[in-house]
Amino acid sequence: MGIIVQKFGGTSVADPQKIHNVAKAVIREKENGNDVVVVVSAMGHTTDYLVKLANEVTCNPDSREMDMLLSTGEQVSIALLAMAIQANGYKAVSMNGQQVGIITECIHSKARIVDIKTEKLQKHLNAGKIIVVAGFQGVTPEGEITTLGRGGSDTSAVAIAAALNAQRCDIYTDVEGVYATDPRIVPNVKKASEISYEEMLELARVGANVLHPRSVETAKQFNVPLRVRSSFNLDNLGTLIIGVDNMEIYKPVAGVAADSSQVRILLSNLPDIPGTAAKLFGALAKNNISVDMIIQSLANNGTNSIAFTVASDDLNNTIETLNSVESSKSAEILIDKDIAKVSIVGAGMVDRPGIAADMFKSLAQKDINIKMISTSEIKISCLVDKNKASDAIKALCKEFGLESDEKAVVKGDLPNL
Amino acid sequence: MGIIVQKFGGTSVADPQKIHNVAKAVIREKENGNDVVVVVSAMGHTTDYLVKLANEVTCNPDSREMDMLLSTGEQVSIALLAMAIQANGYKAVSMNGQQVGIITECIHSKARIVDIKTEKLQKHLNAGKIIVVAGFQGVTPEGEITTLGRGGSDTSAVAIAAALNAQRCDIYTDVEGVYATDPRIVPNVKKASEISYEEMLELARVGANVLHPRSVETAKQFNVPLRVRSSFNLDNLGTLIIGVDNMEIYKPVAGVAADSSQVRILLSNLPDIPGTAAKLFGALAKNNISVDMIIQSLANNGTNSIAFTVASDDLNNTIETLNSVESSKSAEILIDKDIAKVSIVGAGMVDRPGIAADMFKSLAQKDINIKMISTSEIKISCLVDKNKASDAIKALCKEFGLESDEKAVVKGDLPNL
């Protein structure tokens, strides 16, 4: 018995019937003897509708007024969900970000939470009430309404769970849990029953988008057990995301993901003098361009080659920056857009030295050429041709035993983050 | 130069184009050199839509959650209007009831304002900003969101004007001002350029519904000059509502109105003993039934007759109450539903003794039978057959010079209160 924080996204509260289904899931947890705080997003396409309205008024809406506008979406959901819970004979109370005291920085449209007041929450819980909290929104110490940006509602839920020292935070989505890879590529992929924060973060960084990294990082920081589970199948416990130290077993490879949003840039004929790389990457960093993979190789003729990847969106900015740096002005620049980064992630790989070799061998067997490699403690990434990405994922799932006998459940779109 | 408070109803902000029209009216007042606070209602049918949603969730929504739900409607309007004003190059800031500090009692769905904090309002005005405030809503000292019920947005505007010691409060509607009677009955009725709070209140009480009496009462209490004007014709100054003492001239009859929402109950054969009336009306009062007109007459046979009117909605409750009182159990009860109360209202009638006689004569000339009469200092009401009400109004407008040479402007529905 303890406090359970539940979070339901916009698709789960899209209409009155669905709101009643959510009420059932909430009451079920209350009936288990827990205190329940439930965090909800705006109904279905409400946010899109409000953004459209704003754009009809002005092409450049002020971000403060945008937050004022968008925060109404969640306030509608919480009132309706509280009513639905009450209609079933349970005590419930809705609270917006201002009323709870979800204190944020004063940065509109992407504020970070700095504090959550627990006094009122605790008072309502002590009175036996189910609390329905508006996700995605907060308030500055001066009373300005803010929104949290991408992954906001999940982050609200995790942060409230941390503040209340909750037993667990359950993120209800339209998938059944965390799969080892995208079920649309490998239909019989295994669902993880447990995965570590670190693995989840690496998977999110390399292309899996079940949870926004921000909420996982918050959960990791405050050691809040997170459960990703289906709002359509309440009997399925989904995937528990916890610290590595708390895991019972962890596999060398927990998941496989591909990211096709990068481009590779190859600079050849660079002067082989100290500080060249530092100057290049210093200039890129100064222009807020994140560089992902980097390889440097010495050519025979005493010149250097450097290859690296950046987000496609940053390509133009990257080329401009390179042209402004003295040492790369004379270099030859080659751009490769048809690439994908395929990664395997697993907290167990640190203890098993052969994993990298197994990955390379598996790709080679499928005639997939590896263009770049990068590794971290719990991740190995290989750059391959974009049209080989699906084949690579399938081969790697087979290689590392991530297939099951059952077909994974895929419910339309990915969850509303 | 001073502070002007403007109020726009839901039809005035029903879509982005209309919101831009409101922005123009706001900027016009700012350009006149005034500080401007603008109060708005929810867009068009938003409130109806939200009520419908709630009713789809439960047939008996909690009033606290209903206020949480409905208060989002105005918050959407204020954000969009602030954006529209900003798009025209003016500084604007939106504020909900909680942010302003519109403090109310903790009575959901019909809270009364007890205080309005002016600190933040004044700060924004000093910074040259146009402030856009959500009407119809407030907050209790404990931070609970409340709504003000019928006439709420008008009342918000008047109360803010009073708190800021504003020069004037302009209520923008879809009529051109206050007409002496309903222009749908008398198309060439005169529009008043000035009318007193008292006359406006009496007109509202007897069936005219340009402004909710609550906002007029607040304006009277704090002596806030109110202007009712058209949001479609900004050059028309509409009708100024002020204290009698401040009026330049006032006519014996300012307006004529009819109210068809009452029924007449005739009790005959009542015992002619002291206390009968007291017992009857005491019982009705105890059951929260408001009695309007009352006539008592002594019949020849030593019994009494009492006739009175109540709202049609209270009819069943009234009959039940009468049957429970000892002294009326033996009485004969006659109910007349086909009645209308026709009233003339004017602050000047107190100085002119012939007005009542003129009214009776005018009705008699049209063969309209008067069933009951009641008078106050500035009002005379006659009960007539319902199907004669229009004829009565026409005759009285002619009698008291309330016709003009021009056709009154009628824009669809009456304003959103």
For B189-242, the pLDDT digits (tens) are 998 999 999 999 888 777 666 788 889 999 999 999 999 998 888 888 999 999
- Checking B385-389 for CB contacts under 8 A at 24+ apart, the result is B385/B338, B385/B339, B385/B340, B386/B260, B386/B338, B386/B339, B386/B340, B387/B338, B388/B340, B389/B258, B389/B260, B389/B340, B389/B342
Touching check for B119 and chain A: CB below 8 Å?
no
- B246 band by pLDDT with thresholds 50, 70 and 90: confident
CA distance B16 to chain A (A): 5
The mean pLDDT value for B148-171 works out to 94
CA-CA-CA-CA torsion sign (A237, A241, A244, A246):
negative
Touching check for B91 and chain A: CB below 8 Å?
no
More confident residue, A350 or A28: A28
Nearest to B344 by CA among B374, B387, B379: B379
Helices (H), B101-223: 119-126, 152-163, 197-205, 213-222
Residue B51 carries which side chain, given as an amino acid letter?
Answer: V
Using the predicted structure, report yes or no on whether residue A389 has a pLDDT greater than 70: yes
What pLDDT digit, counting tens, does each position of B352-411 carry? 778 999 999 999 999 999 999 988 888 999 999 999 999 999 999 999 999 988 787 665
The mean pLDDT value for A268-294 works out to 87
Residue A189 carries which DSSP code?
B
Please tell me the distance from the alpha carbon of residue A155 to that of residue A133, in angstroms, as a whole number: 12
- In this prediction, residue A409 carries a pLDDT of 67
CB contact under 8 A, B69 and A50: no
CB contact under 8 A, A83 and B56: no
- A208 band by pLDDT with thresholds 50, 70 and 90: low
Please tell me the distance from the alpha carbon of residue A319 to that of residue B218, in angstroms, as a whole number: 66
- In this prediction, residue A213 carries a pLDDT of 87
Q: Secondary structure of chain A: what % helix, strand, coil (to 5)?
A: 40, 25, 35
Coil, helix or strand at residue B179? strand
Using the predicted structure, report yes or no on whether residue A312 has a pLDDT greater than 90: yes
- In this prediction, residue B414 carries a pLDDT of 37
CB < 8 Å to B78, chain A: 68
Q: What is the pTM of this model?
A: 0.84
The mean pLDDT value for B175-180 works out to 88
Touching check for B109 and chain A: CB below 8 Å?
no
The mean pLDDT value for A296-308 works out to 80
What pLDDT digit, counting tens, does each position of A101-114 carry? 999 999 999 999 99
- In this prediction, residue B129 carries a pLDDT of 98
CB < 8 Å to A61, chain B: 83
CB < 8 Å to A22, chain B: none
Nearest CA in chain B to A79: B65
CA distance A173 to chain B (A): 22
Which among A16, A66, A145 is the nearest to B57, CB-wise? A16
Give every CB contact of residue B205 below 8 A, 6+ residues apart in sequence: B213
Of the candidate ranges A36-50, A180-194, B68-82, B388-402, the one whose mean pLDDT is the lowest? A180-194
CB contact under 8 A, B87 and A50: no
- A142 band by pLDDT with thresholds 50, 70 and 90: very high
CA distance A92 to chain B (A): 10
Strands (E), A223-290: 226-230, 239-242, 255-259, 262-271
Answer whether B130's CB lies under 8 Å from B26's CB. yes
- In this prediction, residue B415 carries a pLDDT of 35
Give every CB contact of residue B201 below 8 A, 6+ residues apart in sequence: B213, B216, B217, B220
The mean pLDDT value for A50-71 works out to 96
CB < 8 Å to A76, chain B: 50, 53, 69, 72
Please tell me the distance from the alpha carbon of residue B269 to that of residue B259, in angstroms, as a whole number: 29
Which among A16, A54, A79 is the nearest to B69, CB-wise? A79
Please tell me the distance from the alpha carbon of residue A146 to that of residue A106, in angstroms, as a whole number: 7
Question: What does residue A238 show for φ and ψ, rounded to 5 degrees?
Answer: 65, -140
CA distance B65 to chain A (A): 5
Touching check for A106 and chain B: CB below 8 Å?
no
CA distance A230 to chain B (A): 22
- A275 band by pLDDT with thresholds 50, 70 and 90: confident
Touching check for B130 and chain A: CB below 8 Å?
no
The mean pLDDT value for A128-139 works out to 97
More confident residue, B91 or A292: B91
- Rounded to whole angstroms, the maximal C-alpha distance in chain A is 81
Q: Please report the number of interchain residue pairs, chain A to chain B, with beta-carbon separation below 8 angstroms.
A: 101
* Mean pLDDT of the residues in chain B: 90
CA angle, residues B170, B173, B175, in degrees to nearest 5: 120
Touching check for A96 and chain B: CB below 8 Å?
yes
CB contact under 8 A, B76 and A76: no
Please tell me the distance from the alpha carbon of residue A21 to that of residue A172, in angstroms, as a whole number: 12
- In this prediction, residue B271 carries a pLDDT of 82
Nearest to B6 by CA among B127, B121, B126, B161: B161
Using the predicted structure, report yes or no on whether residue B335 has a pLDDT greater than 90: yes
- In this prediction, residue B349 carries a pLDDT of 85
- In this prediction, residue A411 carries a pLDDT of 53
* Mean pLDDT of the residues in chain A: 90
The residues facing A150 across adjacent strands are: none
CB < 8 Å to A86, chain B: 58, 62, 65
- In this prediction, residue A417 carries a pLDDT of 31
CB < 8 Å to A62, chain B: 82-83, 86
The mean pLDDT value for A367-391 works out to 92
The residues facing A240 across adjacent strands are: A194, A227
| CA B338 to the chain's CA centroid | 24
Kindly state the percentage of chain B with pLDDT values over 90.
66
Answer whether A330's CB lies under 8 Å from A269's CB. yes
Which among B57, B60, B94 is the nearest to A68, CB-wise? B94
Most confident listed range (A170-179, A402-411, B20-29): B20-29
More confident residue, B318 or A244: B318
